[in-house]
């Protein structure tokens, strides 16, 4: 049996050595935080984000880190729960003392965390879709994914080129579908679009033929737009073909921009158009395209590391991480406020989602060119020739 | 007319699935007095197991058979290890156990399978059949036909076989059934296995139309439960009528009224019916014998 004094001595020694190693670590590492929905209903978004961050932080560290400092990544899983997200955000700020945050899988989680980062004055690059994240502009909050408003504008732009103005809408009643529907209704007049019929379906519905029959029988209908997410749009697409409506141009949203949509909708997906990031058609981009190199490299890295097909969601995390890393390099400092200033000065950053140029009034920095209009042909994405 | 037919057929197809789920509820409720909220998970298992087994190269009919067997085994395990040990507990406790089982099964499916949506090929092609101007997927006939076969089979089993009569006897009065020599524990196990099989069949038939994923069972259980309540809990005929009625209400609600309020419309009708007849359309009034 050890005497109490020996034990005390050992404890003291280990405490000293721990303290010492911590001190040594703190000098050449910086902490970047992340709260993602790796599990739960949004896991198909959070999982690729989580993998992307881990792959690239390892890669950056292997190459010597940022400005001589290694990055220590602290990731928490909120399970899709906004309350948990907020708790983890506070922990990142108070316990982990991160210098910046790349995360916030859903709009709900992001909005719950925004006040924490605003108060602590730590930059927060969100991976959530809705425009509310950066409108109105908050000093420390940025985001990388395209907004649903841009998707509507891109679709309407394409419709205008095809001289189609009378559209029917069938939208999911989930958060994504409802928000995009509202944005589309708002911007439709700017493009001379007239919504002649406006239908919805529940996110878990298994049959949309009733709504589509109504749309089909609407006089003057020229095209149909389906803002939605998950399996709903796949069923809508199948019902659309079932009812023999394929003569009418059909538009999906960027919410279905993953290979599984084509698999699920099958032959019915032929001819469907949708706006999506360049990442999906990396191999089909012309060599001259500025994004070609970034998207093909990201796709290769991600797919070889995870053995899973790449998704745009992981791409948002890639963009967020590298916007931050570049800003840290320029700032050459670990002061969150200086890093924030540099993030805002991001100019011509080529990411998977588009070319990002931020400003004091624009914390997203993407324009409509970030979206490509795709058409599904032969079971694969193809760049649609505009106006055809 | 074409419009009406379109709504009718899509309503019947969706309703047939609700009816099968409701039948599963009914069978277990009759044998044990438990409302089994893991019923939706049997539907999910039917679809998901078929998808993954057939993806591994097994022909579709065999994969479907395996899926039904897997569901039955899980149904029996659920009875043996979750319901049977809590035999003496109140119905509410047993219902809570089934909710727990449902969450557990969903979680396991999420790990064993994945979190993506999956589909099965339609059994007889995707070319829509034209019925007086209404475009109908061939799979709809499979769903309707399959549901009819299950319902008739169940009816024949309950009315024409000794074992089926034992189930009915247990449903009517468990104590009396035990007194005449029926092993009510076996009957309960049979009910769990049987309703797991019915759920799995529903899942297999409907997956080519609705797609499937690990959490597809939640909503189906809810709708099936509503159907069983509407028809009268414990009455197989009521379960079928209730299921079809809810499917039709949804389709006609979406078609003629507003798609935004179609669920609200369906549930409003259910509420009105239950106000007028709390025992459901075909339910017997519960009588306390003193």
Q: ipTM value of the model?
A: 0.81
| A23 band by pLDDT with thresholds 50, 70 and 90 | very low
pLDDT of A252 above 90: yes
Please report whether residue B283 resides in a domain.
no
Nearest of A319, A159, A157 to residue A250 by alpha carbon = A159
What was the pLDDT predicted at B109? Answer: 92
What was the pLDDT predicted at A308? Answer: 85
Range A145-155 average pLDDT: 90
Q: Among all chains, which residue has been given the structure tokens 């053995």? A: A307
- Residues of chain A whose beta carbon is less than 8 angstroms from a beta carbon of chain B are 41, 43-44, 47, 173, 199-202, 204, 206-207, 209-211, 213-214, 217, 230-231, 234-235, 241-244, 260, 263-264, 266-268
Q: A135 or B21, which is more confident?
A: B21
As for how many domains chain B has, the answer is: 1
| A45 band by pLDDT with thresholds 50, 70 and 90 | confident
| A178 band by pLDDT with thresholds 50, 70 and 90 | confident
Residue B17 touches partner A, C-beta closer than 8 Å = yes
- The region of weakest confidence among A15-29, A238-252, B125-139, B215-229 is A15-29
pTM value is 0.79
Residue B213 touches partner A, C-beta closer than 8 Å = yes
Alpha carbon A115 to its chain centroid, in Å, reads 21
Name the token pair of B49.
């197991």
Backbone angles phi, psi at A125, to 5 degrees: -100, 110
Q: Return the DSSP state at A45.
A: H
What was the pLDDT predicted at B49? Answer: 95
Long-range contacts of B169-174 (CB under 8 A, 24+ apart): B170/B30, B170/B31, B171/B30, B171/B31, B171/B234
Name the token pair of B75.
């149904």
Residue boundaries of the structural domains of chain A: 29-145+295-367, 148-283+371-383
When CB atoms are compared, the residue of A199, A213, A263 closest to B3 is A213
Domain that holds residue B239: 2-276
What was the pLDDT predicted at B32? Answer: 80
Chain B residue with CA closest to A268: the answer is B126
Q: Do B115 and A44 touch (CB under 8 A)?
A: yes
Instruction: Please say whether the beta carbons of A162 and A178 come within 8 A.
Output: no
Please report whether residue B287 resides in a domain.
no
pLDDT of A158 above 50: yes
When CB atoms are compared, the residue of B11, B135, B211 closest to A244 is B135
Task: Report helix, strand or coil for A335.
Answer: coil
**Chain B residues within 8 A of A44 when measuring between CB atoms:** 115-116
Tell me which CATH code domain A29-145+295-367 carries: 3.40.50.2300
Query: Which residues 43-72 of B have a C-beta within 8 angstroms of A?
Result: none
Helix B2-32 vs helix B236-256: angle between axes, to the nearest 10 degrees?
Answer: 150
Whichever domain contains B147, its CATH number is 1.10.3470
pLDDT in tens, A322-377: 999 999 999 988 899 999 999 999 999 999 988 999 999 999 999 888 888 999 98
% of chain A surpassing 90 pLDDT: 51
Query: Residue ranges of the alpha helices (H) in B56-90?
Result: 60-78
d(CA A271, CA A360): 40
Under-50 pLDDT residues of chain B: none
CATH 3.30.70.330 fits domain A148-283+371-383 = no
d(CA B46, CA B69): 9
Ramachandran region of residue A35, left (φ > 0), alpha (ψ -120 to 50) or beta?
beta
Please report whether residue B282 resides in a domain.
no
Please report whether residue B82 resides in a domain.
yes
Q: Among all chains, which residue has been given the structure tokens 């419709």? A: A159
Among B254, B257, B262, most A C-beta atoms within 10 A, so best to mutate, is B254
Mean of per-residue pLDDT scores for chain A? 87
pLDDT of A1 above 70: no
Instruction: Please say whether the beta carbons of A99 and A125 come within 8 A.
Output: no
Nearest CA-CA distance, residue A207 and chain B, Å: 7
d(CA B214, CA A139): 41
Strands A250-252 and A194-201: unpaired
């Amino acid at each position: 049996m050890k005497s109490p004094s020996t034990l005390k001595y050992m404890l003291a020694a280990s405490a000293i050595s721990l303290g010492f190693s911590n001190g040594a670590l703190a000098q050449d590492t910086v902490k970047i935080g992340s709260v993602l929905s790796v599990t739960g209903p949004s896991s198909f978004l959070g999982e690729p984000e989580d993998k992307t961050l881990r792959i690239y932080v390892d890669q950056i560290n292997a190459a010597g880190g940022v400005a001589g400092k290694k990055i220590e990544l602290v990731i928490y899983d909120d399970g899709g729960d906004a309350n948990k997200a907020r708790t983890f955000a506070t922990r990142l700020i108070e316990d982990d003392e991160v210098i910046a945050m790349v995360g916030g899988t859903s709009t709900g989680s992001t909005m719950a965390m925004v006040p924490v980062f605003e108060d602590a004055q730590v930059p927060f690059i969100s991976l959530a879709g809705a425009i509310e994240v950066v409108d109105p502009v908050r000093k420390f909050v940025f985001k990388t994914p395209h907004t649903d408003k841009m998707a509507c504008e891109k679709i309407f732009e394409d419709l205008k080129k095809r001289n189609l103005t009378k559209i029917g809408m069938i939208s999911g009643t989930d958060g994504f579908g409802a928000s995009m529907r509202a944005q589309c209704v708002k911007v439709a007049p700017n493009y001379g679009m007239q919504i002649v019929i406006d239908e919805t379906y529940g996110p878990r519905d298994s049959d949309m033929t009733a709504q589509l029959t109504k749309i089909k029988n609407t006089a003057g209908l020229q095209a149909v737009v389906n803002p939605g997410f998950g399996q709903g749009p796949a069923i809508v697409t199948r019902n659309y073909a079932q009812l023999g409506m394929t003569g009418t141009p059909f538009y999906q949203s960027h919410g279905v921009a993953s290979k599984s949509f084509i698999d699920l909708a099958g032959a019915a997906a032929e001819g469907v158009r949708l706006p999506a990031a360049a990442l999906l058609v990396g191999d089909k981009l012309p060599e001259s395209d500025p994004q070609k190199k970034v998207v093909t490299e990201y796709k290769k890295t991600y797919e070889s590391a995870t053995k899973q097909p790449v998704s745009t969601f992981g791409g948002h995390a890639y963009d967020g991480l590298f916007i931050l890393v570049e800003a840290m390099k320029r700032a050459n400092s670990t002061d969150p406020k200086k890093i924030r200033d540099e993030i805002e000065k991001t100019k011509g950053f080529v990411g998977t989602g588009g070319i990002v140029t931020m400003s004091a009034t624009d914390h997203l920095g993407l324009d409509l060119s970030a979206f490509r209009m795709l058409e599904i042909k032969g079971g694969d994405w193809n760049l649609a020739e505009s106006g055809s | 007319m074409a419009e009406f037919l379109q709504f009718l057929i899509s309503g019947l197809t969706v309703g047939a699935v609700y009816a099968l789920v409701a039948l599963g509820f009914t069978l277990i409720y009759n044998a044990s007095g438990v409302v089994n909220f893991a019923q939706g998970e049997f539907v999910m298992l039917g679809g998901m197991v078929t998808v993954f087994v057939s993806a591994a190269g097994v022909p579709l009919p065999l994969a479907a058979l395996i899926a039904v067997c897997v569901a039955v085994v899980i149904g029996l395990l659920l009875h043996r290890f979750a319901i049977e040990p809590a035999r003496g507990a109140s119905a509410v406790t047993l219902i809570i156990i089934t909710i727990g089982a449902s969450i557990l099964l969903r979680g396991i499916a999420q790990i064993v399978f994945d979190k993506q949506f999956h589909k099965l090929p339609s059994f007889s092609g995707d070319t829509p059949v034209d019925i007086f101007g209404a475009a109908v997927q061939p799979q709809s006939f499979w769903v309707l036909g399959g549901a009819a076969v299950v319902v008739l089979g169940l009816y024949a089993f309950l009315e024409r076989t000794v074992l089926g009569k034992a189930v009915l006897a247990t449903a009517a009065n468990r104590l009396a059934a035990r007194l005449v020599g029926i092993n009510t524990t076996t009957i309960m196990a049979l009910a769990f296995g049987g309703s797991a099989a019915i759920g799995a069949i529903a899942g297999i038939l409907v997956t080519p139309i609705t797609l499937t994923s690990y959490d597809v069972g939640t909503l189906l259980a809810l709708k099936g439960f509503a159907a069983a309540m509407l028809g009268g809990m414990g009455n197989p005929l009521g379960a079928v009528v209730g299921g079809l009625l809810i499917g039709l209400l949804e389709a006609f609600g979406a078609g003629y009224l507003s798609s935004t309020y179609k669920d609200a419309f369906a549930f409003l009708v259910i509420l009105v019916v239950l106000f007028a007849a709390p025992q459901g359309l075909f339910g017997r009034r519960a009588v306390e014998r003193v």
